[in-house]
A and B are shown apart, each in its own frame.
Chain A
Amino acid sequence: MIKIENLTISFDDKKAVSDISLEIKPGEILGLVGESGSGKSVTALSLMGLMSHEAVLESGRVTFGDTCLLKAGEKPDEKMLRSYRGKHMSMVFQEPMTSLNPTMKVGPQVAEQLLLHAKDRYPDAQSRRKCVVETFESVGLKEADSLYDKYPHQLSGGMRQRVMIAMAVILHPELIIADEPTTALDVTIQNQIVRLLKEINERENNSMLFITHDLNLARRICTRLLVMKDGKVVERGDTEKIFTDPQTDYAKKLIAAVPGRVKHPEIDINNSTGNKILSVRDLSVFYKEQSKKLFGGKINRQVVFSAGFDIYEGETLGLVGESGCGKSSLCKAILGINTNIKGSIENKTVRPQMIFQDPYSSLNPVRTIGWQLEEPLYTMDVLDKDIKTDKKWRKEQALKMLERVGLDESYYSRMPSQLSGGQRQRVSIAQALITKPKLIFADEPVSALDVTIQDQVLDLLEDLQQEYGIAYLFISHDINVIHRVSDRIMVMKDGHILEIGDRDKVFEDPENAYTKELLAEP
């Protein structure tokens, strides 16, 4: 039994977690859910005694069975902690690429574990190799023997995460901590990894601490849940109980914000007027790449293969697909950012705009919010002969738009660095909409936001669509978000459009096998 009792940890006198208690029983998967900055990861790292040097343990203790691993006021016994790490408890991290040493073969990285904790059982390299290969096979890695001598960059994301899991289970520890283990992976891979973790839990009958921001995922895998906010546990209990009958306000809000596949009748209005505003025919997109051959010049690599579709006024066309399927390339081609294309694009709207995923890079860091909102109006003045604007009018418009996206006029003179992620995304939306375009490309606009903020931003996008009659091409990897916003859905894989159709049709009766796998409710 692993226990945390009344744990308080602070950084620079700011409390990261305060007065946390939890226990994990053998055979159960305990979920730790909450938004970014809620203290989930700090809690997990404290179990392993891996907090950074600046962290101060103010109160509480961590016990593993009868052993006390950490105690406030006592210097941690590093040697004892090391004998537990990897052997009795192990961790799977979010980013499988950076979590593996890039200059070391994956086999030896896993074998290191045996060398450290089980040298008596595996005294020679041959026996260690055998054990690693067997573990690789047990976590579903194929051709395990040749995999042993590969470097991390030669593996796919899913394979790397399996290697991380192999590393975590090779010594059959009593506790596995999984810190957002599927967040960096594609949907289909995500499902496989979640199944694998669950299977391991059943097979080994160990304890698992599963940390995630994704409540749908937590619901699928965890037996019990701890909901965290601002370093405190606000609610705990059996998973289904929390989902069906949340007690605290915060848990209620959090669960309401989760984009599920339940229909919201009030927002399920198709706004389309049936006017075609964009039509794409037989569009192929290429990227120039340096040839690897001697004296070879540039070669054209095709990333989108003869795409054809239409967008109608006022509708939302949802575009789903896994990373690298050509979603963003398609957008950039239509917007004219990439001109290396073949095929025809007929666009009846004036200067369609784009909203990006990362709220930190979509605003110019050295300009005030006001300047950035007036800039599109200024260029509109320069470009369109019949529009004349002056400084006063532009400022008025900027302030009006700020108010429309829910920010007061004090934001006009602020810099982007003074804003939170959600606020920045609101400014981005305001900037895209200030010239009232009829078509917006939204490339994962809410993927970097916490779930409650995500909900608010989606609401805002939907309201503005109604108000201005905008059409969205809405890209997302999150099937639930796509389900919520789209009128029609387009599925892409490896540069090909596999399927286009009305949302309910595609969800309920997909034509394509891949679509079925992608949209499957796990």
Chain B
Amino acid sequence: MINSVFRTKDGKLNTYLVIGASMAAVVIILSVLSIFWTPYSPTAMSAAQRFKAPTFAHIFGTDNFGRDIFSRVMKAIGTSFLISVFVVLISGTAGILIGSVTGYFGGIIDTVVMRVVDAINGFPSILLALVVISLLGKGRANVVLALAIAFTPSFVRIVRGEFIRLRDADYIIRARLMGAKKTRILFLHILPNIFSTFWVSVTIGFNNAILAESGLSYLGIGVQAPDATLGSMLSDAQGYLGTAPWYALAPGLTIVWMVLSAAMLSEGISRRKKGVR
């Protein structure tokens, strides 16, 4: 079973999916672990331990306050991961609900919704998040809300596109001729058909959520101190590039790792999808 998940239809190993899943597993394990345990306290300062290059004791080194960077990165991964999960969950669900109804029924509501969605979609998502945050204020929940609002349109677009593509498919016309109820057609006949496409956009959504969250916290308008975030660590580290380059590299490369894992997963899933038919 597990073996078959990681193989394409012709039996070859789906390398992208394997690499993506392993990288994502590291992220998930570290973020869950960070709730209970970190090697050091992420906030414990020590003047004696300032700017220690990576050693076995501090594998990512220490920062300007002598805090253990690895422990802080672990906490930050947890925060970033949790925010991304909520963002994708909210915007994905909203996308399915709005996209399925507007796509299947069309009409005036669809026109209005699509105008709005197109307008927002053309707008860079981080800017939109900035606008929402400027209105709502900073903080963890507002970041989630801002990013969810910014990402919903792209999900609506994808789900709607699939519903439009399928609403006139021969087998859906036949379902209508049978007399199946509209909700049954929407959720039992069409919805299972869009999942393969939907999972790809979920992983892309993750990818963008991680980038946007770290971007916001780098700009100082995301999750606020004292919570460690990858973006705010980078922003702090920038001042010490000459003396402690590892301070910037650790959170930076962590972001790259998280984004890559999502990108690999999405590539792997879309390859799987292509293999099916």
Do A and B touch each other in the complex, judged by CB within 8 A?
Answer: yes
Interface flags, B157-184, vs A, CB<8A=1, else 0: 0000000000001110111111111001
Q: Is A401 interfacial (CB-CB < 8 Å)?
A: no
- A residues 373-405 near B (Cβ < 8 Å) are 375-376, 379-380, 382-383
B174 x A362 contact (CB < 8 A): yes
B177 x A363 contact (CB < 8 A): no
B178 x A363 contact (CB < 8 A): no
B174 x A367 contact (CB < 8 A): no
Distance (whole angstroms) from the CB of B199 to the closest CB of chain A:
13
- Chain A residues near B277: list those with CB within 8 A: 365, 417
* CA gap between A380 and B180 in the complex, in Å: 9
Q: Is A447 interfacial (CB-CB < 8 Å)?
A: no
CB within 8 A of B171: which of A351, A352, A363? A363
B177 x A358 contact (CB < 8 A): no
* CA gap between A353 and B174 in the complex, in Å: 7
Given the contacts A365-B193, A366-B192, A367-B192, A375 and B173 also touching, CB distance less than 8 Å: no
* CA gap between A383 and B170 in the complex, in Å: 22
Given the contacts A367-B192, A417-B277, A362 and B171 also touching, CB distance less than 8 Å: yes
A-B contact count (CB 8 A): 58
B176 x A379 contact (CB < 8 A): no
Given the contacts A365-B193, A366-B192, A366-B193, A379 and B179 also touching, CB distance less than 8 Å: yes
- Chain A residues near B171: list those with CB within 8 A: 361-364, 372
Given the contacts A351-B178, A351-B179, A379-B179, A337 and B173 also touching, CB distance less than 8 Å: yes
CB within 8 A of A356: which of B170, B178, B180? B170
Q: Is A335 interfacial (CB-CB < 8 Å)?
A: yes
* CA gap between A380 and B175 in the complex, in Å: 12
B173 x A380 contact (CB < 8 A): no
- B residues 102-129 near A (Cβ < 8 Å) are none
CB within 8 A of B177: which of A354, A367, A417, A428? A354
CB within 8 A of A364: which of B181, B184, B189? B189
B178 x A435 contact (CB < 8 A): yes
Q: Is B276 interfacial (CB-CB < 8 Å)?
A: yes
Q: Is A476 interfacial (CB-CB < 8 Å)?
A: no
B192 x A379 contact (CB < 8 A): no
Q: Which of B170, B175, B277: most chain A Cβ within 10 A? A: B170
Distance (whole angstroms) from the CB of A288 to the closest CB of chain B:
10
Distance (whole angstroms) from the CB of B50 to the closest CB of chain A:
58
CB within 8 A of B193: which of A353, A364, A380, A382? A364
B276 x A417 contact (CB < 8 A): yes
Distance (whole angstroms) from the CB of A382 to the closest CB of chain B:
7
* CA gap between A329 and B178 in the complex, in Å: 19
* CA gap between A367 and B169 in the complex, in Å: 15
- Chain A residues near B179: list those with CB within 8 A: 351, 379-380, 382-383
Distance (whole angstroms) from the CB of A283 to the closest CB of chain B:
18
- Chain A residues near B192: list those with CB within 8 A: 366-367
Q: Which of B169, B174, B180, B184: most chain A Cβ within 10 A? A: B174
* CA gap between A444 and B179 in the complex, in Å: 23
* CA gap between A114 and B202 in the complex, in Å: 52
The size class of the interface chain A forms with chain B is 20 to 34
* CA gap between A375 and B179 in the complex, in Å: 10
* CA gap between A431 and B175 in the complex, in Å: 10
CB within 8 A of A361: which of B170, B176, B177? B170
Distance (whole angstroms) from the CB of A358 to the closest CB of chain B:
7
* CA gap between A91 and B94 in the complex, in Å: 52
CB within 8 A of A352: which of B177, B180, B276? B177
Q: Is A168 interfacial (CB-CB < 8 Å)?
A: no
Number of B positions contacting A (CB below 8 A): 19
* CA gap between A379 and B174 in the complex, in Å: 12
**What residue in chain A is nearest B277 (Cβ atoms)?**
A417
A375 x B176 contact (CB < 8 A): no
Given the contacts A365-B277, A366-B193, A380-B179, A432 and B173 also touching, CB distance less than 8 Å: no
* CA gap between A432 and B170 in the complex, in Å: 12
- A residues 334-376 near B (Cβ < 8 Å) are 335, 337, 351-354, 356, 358, 361-367, 372, 375-376
- Chain B residues near A380: list those with CB within 8 A: 178-179
Distance (whole angstroms) from the CB of B249 to the closest CB of chain A:
43
B177 x A335 contact (CB < 8 A): yes
* CA gap between A364 and B190 in the complex, in Å: 8
**What residue in chain A is nearest B193 (Cβ atoms)?**
A366
Q: Which of A337, A363, A365, A428: most chain B Cβ within 10 A? A: A365
- Chain A residues near B169: list those with CB within 8 A: 361
- Chain B residues near A353: list those with CB within 8 A: 174, 177-178
* CA gap between A335 and B175 in the complex, in Å: 12
* CA gap between A417 and B193 in the complex, in Å: 13
- Chain B residues near A375: list those with CB within 8 A: 175, 178, 180
- Chain A residues near B176: list those with CB within 8 A: 337
Distance (whole angstroms) from the CB of A387 to the closest CB of chain B:
12
Distance (whole angstroms) from the CB of B105 to the closest CB of chain A:
13
CB within 8 A of A379: which of B173, B180, B193, B276? B180
Given the contacts A364-B189, A379-B179, A383-B179, A358 and B174 also touching, CB distance less than 8 Å: no
* CA gap between A401 and B180 in the complex, in Å: 20
**What residue in chain B is nearest A337 (Cβ atoms)?**
B173
A382 x B174 contact (CB < 8 A): no
* CA gap between A384 and B202 in the complex, in Å: 41
- Chain B residues near A337: list those with CB within 8 A: 173, 176-177
- Chain A residues near B195: list those with CB within 8 A: 366
- Chain B residues near A431: list those with CB within 8 A: 174
* CA gap between A354 and B193 in the complex, in Å: 21
A376 x B178 contact (CB < 8 A): yes
Given the contacts A367-B192, A375-B180, A379-B180, A362 and B276 also touching, CB distance less than 8 Å: no
* CA gap between A358 and B181 in the complex, in Å: 25
- Chain B residues near A354: list those with CB within 8 A: 173-174, 177
* CA gap between A372 and B170 in the complex, in Å: 13
- Chain B residues near A365: list those with CB within 8 A: 193, 277
Distance (whole angstroms) from the CB of A132 to the closest CB of chain B:
40
* CA gap between A428 and B178 in the complex, in Å: 13
A362 x B177 contact (CB < 8 A): no
Distance (whole angstroms) from the CB of A264 to the closest CB of chain B:
30
Distance (whole angstroms) from the CB of B107 to the closest CB of chain A:
11
- Chain A residues near B189: list those with CB within 8 A: 364, 367
Residues of chain B at the chain A interface (Cβ within 8 Å): 169-171, 173-181, 184, 189, 192-193, 195, 276-277
In order of increasing CB-CB distance, the 8 nearest A-B pairs are A362-B170, A356-B170, A376-B178, A366-B192, A364-B171, A361-B170, A379-B180, A379-B179
Having A358-B170, A366-B195, one finds 16 other A-B pairs with CB under 8 Å, namely: A337-B173, A337-B177, A351-B179, A352-B177, A354-B173, A356-B173, A356-B174, A362-B170, A362-B171, A365-B193, A366-B193, A367-B189, A379-B178, A379-B181, A380-B178, A417-B276
Q: Can you list 17 A-B pairs with a CB-CB distance of less than 8 A?
A: A337-B177, A352-B177, A354-B173, A356-B174, A358-B170, A361-B171, A362-B174, A364-B175, A372-B171, A376-B178, A379-B178, A379-B184, A380-B178, A383-B179, A428-B174, A431-B174, A432-B174
